[in-house]
Chains A and B, each alone.
Chain A
Amino acid sequence: MRTRPAARAGQYAALLAYLSFLAFPFLWLVSVAFKPARELGSLHPTWIPEHPTLANFRQAFDEQPLLHAAVNSLLAAVGAAVVAVVVATPTAYVMARRRTRLTRAVSGWVVVSQAFPFVLVIIPLFLVLKNLRLIDSLPGLVLVYVVWALPFALWMLVGHVRAVPVELEEAAAIDGAGRLRTLVSVTAPLLAPGIAVTGLFAFVTAWNEFFFALVLLKSARQQTLPVVLTHFIGAEGVADLGPLAAAASLATLPSLVVFAIVQRRITGGVLAGAVKS
């Protein structure tokens, strides 16, 4: 079926509008990050800074331990993503392939657990972690992020496992492959895009998370990037806008990089899955 030129132009226009909508906050953030203070107070702001400067970045790094906080965030996010994937993948496989009352109950619990507000769980969580001596430690934070990401990760992965035809596993069994061999050689490659998306989800949510990190990390050396970013904001919401934008634009980069890497894997995996089925 051929698309009319006018319809195609409309599609491109809609796509462009959508991309602009998505890109606007980030591009504006980058623009502000390179503007000197006097341009920030201009009544007629420009997209391209008239006198671009790195002073905001210098000030941001001088004032706050951004690099150290970024390393903490990276450790917490990677740790959460890896553990979430390792725990969620076999669990999701069982939940998808063995439909018993127990797995149905677990699925129900997963949905219900998403409705708990943070403020409801934060104080009990704080006390539990305190008893485990995991307050003010990255392993404690990773544990929280894993528990937090797990329900949604399971939900996503169960769908991906169900999308892998069970007939392929049966065919492999008929060809003489053992259970483990079937899982590793047949199921796992087809699940790879799902695993990548789940890992990405866990990484991005942990990377951006603020409230748990704020409450659970006590000392300056443990603080993560979202917590440190709030140090540029004063009473009544007044902000040191230039350094804040500089730090925030740097903070978005790891998410973008990880997404760029994983996105290729997702696309490749989806195409591979399409051919096999």
Chain B
Amino acid sequence: MRARAMAVVVLLLLAGCSGGGGGDEGPVTLRFQSLAWQEESVRANKELVREWNATHEHVKVEYVQGSWSAVHDQLLTSFEGGEAPDIIHDASDDLADFAHGGYLADLTGLLPARLEEDIPRRSWETTTFGDGVYGVPFLQEPRVLVANATWLRRSGVRIPTPGHPWSWTEFRRITERLSGGGRYGVAWPLKEPVSATLNLSLSAGGRMFHRGADGKVTVRFEAGDEVVPRTIHDQAGIDRSASPTTLGSGGSDTLPGFFGGRYAMVPLGFSYRQQIVQQAPEGFDWQVLPAPAGADGLAQGVSPQTLSVAEDSPHKKEAVAFVDFLLRPKNMVRLALGDWMLPTGTRALADPALHTAKDDWATGTALAAHLRPAPAQSVRGYAEWKDKVATPAFQEYYSGAIGLGELRERLEKDGNLVLARYQR
């Protein structure tokens, strides 16, 4: 009888130990929502998660595949419902609203010094809102000119390098020289004209958004802002050196014409090289050239890919530890190679694998030091300004429907009315 009573007590104690939540005893499981989509990139991410899980008994990571096309809506709903993934992959220009909404954890004080020091200040600026840091920028890509190498060589034009790029004036002259007979020197894919124009305008000293002493932002379309749009407009409308049909196309849409010898150059993101390697006809010789430079050299704006931690995550420390693991220099190189992009980390960027002549990696890495936060990165109301004012205005300007004066008036007058509503 006594033995039975003892057995009951032991069983109750055991039950007490194993039940009642037991959150401290079992392994922590973190959900990592990745937006990797290219074959090599998905593989690299999954491998890294596997490696983490194999070496971390108490913190397991579940890989969840997300998609770029719907990430904002999906995250917003998840945040509102308290069901967001612990670790969130996104782009820096998508973070401002989430950070202001209190959905993302401020990583200040959580990040290891190694990571903080490894990533340049200018990259951290893309994820810093107010006093907080709401994501780790880890991959970025410059916009480059992908050129038909054979065509350029035969034409005898000077081939630009990151050390000696074309100026915008020279670029216009060269595209005019390459054009004729139904062929064009350049095909601008400007389905999304605003970010392309604004980001490239940094090279000519364009800023567009000006923050006053009161902290309020206004739009001013000044001399530096005019250079890039005027070049594109004149190439398409005056010189006939830019294909007018591609102005409304996406980057991928221009590739058949590029491979078919219709355009000598296409300005594209650096990661488009993957598509070009896959789709270019046998023997097609292509090369990457730096985008033209202006008064501010090769500077251009970027919105890096980021890793953030959800404010609701009960395991922020563990989540940051995983981010730190994922972004160790060697791992950052694997992610960069998988996505055909550049790492933000200086040690990863120095890796020989990213300095090869193959697929012109070296040209891209030489541009990394010139990349700056996209001008509109932290401007509240930018999304509405872009959709309602800037996109139609630039589209009409590039198509020749309106002139530079009308473009300026709409960007400034209509644009400032939009921004003012967000800054009352």
Contacts and interface: CB of A to CB of B under 8 A. Distances in A.
Q: Do chains A and B interact in one complex?
A: yes
Interface of A: 37-38, 40-45, 59, 62-64, 119, 122-123, 126-127, 130, 135-136, 210-211, 214-215, 218-220, 223, 227-228, 230-241
Interface string B275-318: 10011111000000000000000000000000000000000000
Interface in B75-99: 77-78, 80-83, 85, 91
B74 A215 contact: yes
Contacts of B77: 122-123, 126, 215
A130 B81 contact: yes
A38 B277 CA distance: 9
25 contacts: A38-B280, A38-B282, A40-B279, A62-B39, A63-B39, A119-B73, A122-B77, A123-B80, A123-B81, A135-B83, A211-B70, A211-B73, A220-B65, A230-B67, A230-B69, A230-B70, A231-B65, A233-B68, A235-B68, A235-B91, A236-B68, A236-B250, A237-B69, A238-B252, A240-B38
Given A43-B256, A130-B83, A215-B78, A232 B278 contact: no
A151 B91 CA distance: 39
Given A218-B31, A231-B67, A42 B260 contact: yes
B63 interface: yes
Among A122, A130, A235, the one with the most B-chain Cβ atoms within 10 Å of its Cβ is: A235
B337 interface: no
A218 B67 contact: no
Contacts of A130: 81-83
Nearest to B250: A237
B37 A240 contact: yes
B64 A214 contact: no
Contact of A41 (B85, B191, B279): B279
Nearest to B303: A235
Interface of B: 31, 35, 37-39, 42, 62-65, 67-70, 73-74, 77-78, 80-83, 85, 91, 191-192, 250-252, 255-257, 259-260, 262, 269, 271-272, 275, 278-282
Given A37-B278, A123-B80, A215-B78, A220 B37 contact: no
B193 to A, nearest CB: 13
Contacts of B269: 236
Contacts of B64: 218-220
A37 B34 CA distance: 25
Contacts of A234: 37-38, 68
Contacts of A220: 62-65
Contacts of A231: 37, 42, 65, 67
B147 to A, nearest CB: 16
Contacts of B68: 233-236
Nearest to A239: B252
Contacts of A64: 65
Contacts of B83: 126, 130, 135-136, 218
Contacts of A40: 279
Contact of B192 (A123, A223, A236): A236
Nearest to B253: A237
Given A127-B81, A130-B81, A231-B67, A44 B260 contact: yes
A245 B81 CA distance: 34
B44 to A, nearest CB: 13
Nearest first, the 7 A-B pairs at minimum CB distance are: A43-B260, A41-B279, A230-B67, A37-B278, A126-B81, A234-B37, A43-B256
A150 B83 CA distance: 28
B256 A233 contact: no
Given A38-B279, A41-B256, A218-B83, A223 B65 contact: yes
B186 to A, nearest CB: 17
Contacts of A119: 73
A58 B4 CA distance: 62
Contact of B73 (A135, A215, A238): A215
Contacts of B42: 63, 231
A64 B67 CA distance: 12
A218 B75 CA distance: 11
Contacts of B78: 215, 218
Contact of A38 (B35, B37, B91, B281): B281
B374 to A, nearest CB: 13
A232 B279 CA distance: 16
A211 B39 CA distance: 24
Nearest to A243: B39
Contacts of B91: 235
B260 to A, nearest CB: 3
